[in-house]
Amino acid sequence: MAKTAGIMVIGNEILSGKVIDTNSPYLCQELRTLGVDVRRIVVVPDDIAVIAHDVLLYTQTFDYVFTTGGVGPTHDDVTIEAIAHGLQRRLVVHPEMEALLQRHWAERPPAVRQKMATVPEGAQLLMEPDLPIPVLYVANVYIFPGIPQLFRRKFDSIKERFRDVPYHVRLVYVRARESDFAHVLDQVVQEFPDLLLGSYPEVGNPDYRVKLTLESKELPYLEHAYTRLLGLLPAETIYQVV
């Protein structure tokens, strides 16, 4: 079974449309490449009760929980406090984080450093050579900033720890309408119940009408399903296979 993940995007600015979330699509693509199955994404406001509720639910439901946003020094950065509340942990000053912030943020006000060094009790730091400020995690929750450049840099620095058995993928591009061969897809799924089969119509594409994706972590199983699908589809409807 694939490891599962839930993503929490935190911030009023996302829900109000002031900022477009680019972190969760990036994370979904990266985790899929690593072999992790993202099962749910939620966007929540800067509200301690809401974040606490969802983080507790996610920690109990998924192998990994990723949060992005709400970890800065301002009044609306409540993610750390909310995670502590949801996991029923005290907020404490992490001595290593405090020392790092003193080293890298010495010119900033002490109150800012104090807030940034305050973490849920038991939280750990993932120290990487190229990161002045480490990734913070507690239980199975990995806490990231919302700024896309910082988010990607931090995630990329630790992503290998999530690598699992990869998904193998085959693509089939079909000229026919989806409704013309839906019965074929039903048959393939019935014969190969563990296959992840996706069907995605295209509008206005001059070459094909539907893109089919076949995925499995077991390559022989995938190849058998792929061969079966190609055998059931009329040859003249197949534009391209990958």
Angle between helices 182-191 and 219-232 in degrees, nearest 10: 150
Give 161-173 pLDDT, tens digit per residue. 999 999 999 999 9
Residue 5 scores a pLDDT above 80: yes
Residues 194 and 224 in one domain: yes
User: Across the chain, what does the average pLDDT equal?
Assistant: 95
CA pair distance 116, 143, nearest whole angstrom: 12
Give 173-205 pLDDT, tens digit per residue. 999 999 999 999 999 999 999 999 999 999 999
What is the pLDDT, as a whole number, of residue 75?
87
Query: CA nearest 83: which of 149, 1, 10?
Result: 10
Residues 182 and 118 in one domain: no
CA pair distance 107, 102, nearest whole angstrom: 8
Structural element, H or E, at residue 179: none
Residues 23 and 135 in one domain: yes
Picking from 99, 131, 162, the residue at the C-terminal end of a domain is 162
Residues 31 and 71 in one domain: yes
Average pLDDT of the segment spanning 65-76: 92
Say if CB 79 and CB 10 are below 8 A apart.
yes
Which distant-in-sequence residues (6+ apart) come within 8 Å of 121 by Cβ?
84, 89, 90, 91, 92
Residue 130 scores a pLDDT above 80: no
Say if CB 72 and CB 144 are below 8 A apart.
no
pTM above 0.85, yes or no: yes
Give 82-107 pLDDT, tens digit per residue. 999 999 999 999 999 999 988 888 88
CA pair distance 174, 179, nearest whole angstrom: 12
CA pair distance 45, 113, nearest whole angstrom: 24
Residues 153 and 35 in one domain: yes
Residues 141 and 213 in one domain: no
Residues 108 and 158 in one domain: yes
For the chain, the domain total comes to 2
Residues 81 and 177 in one domain: no
Strands in 127-204 per DSSP E: 135-138, 141-144, 168-174, 196-201
Please give the residue range of the domain that contains residue 101.
4-162
Give 146-159 pLDDT, tens digit per residue. 999 999 999 999 99
Residue 215 sits in a domain of what CATH number?
A: 3.30.70.2860
Picking from 116, 147, 162, the residue at the C-terminal end of a domain is 162
What is the pLDDT, as a whole number, of residue 155?
96
Residues 56 and 152 in one domain: yes
- 132 band by pLDDT with thresholds 50, 70 and 90: confident
Picking from 118, 139, 162, the residue at the C-terminal end of a domain is 162
Residue at token pair 């630790």: 158
3-state secondary structure of 182: helix
Say if CB 70 and CB 143 are below 8 A apart.
no
Report, in angstroms and rounded to the nearest whole number, the Rg of the chain calculated over CA atoms. Answer: 22
Residue 130 sits in a domain of what CATH number?
A: 3.40.980.10
Say if CB 40 and CB 24 are below 8 A apart.
no
CA pair distance 242, 112, nearest whole angstrom: 52
Which distant-in-sequence residues (6+ apart) come within 8 Å of 132 by Cβ?
100, 104
What is the pLDDT, as a whole number, of residue 96?
93
Say if CB 62 and CB 29 are below 8 A apart.
no
What is the pLDDT, as a whole number, of residue 53?
98
Residues 141 and 175 in one domain: no
Residues 139 and 34 in one domain: yes
Residues 41 and 119 in one domain: yes
- 129 band by pLDDT with thresholds 50, 70 and 90: confident
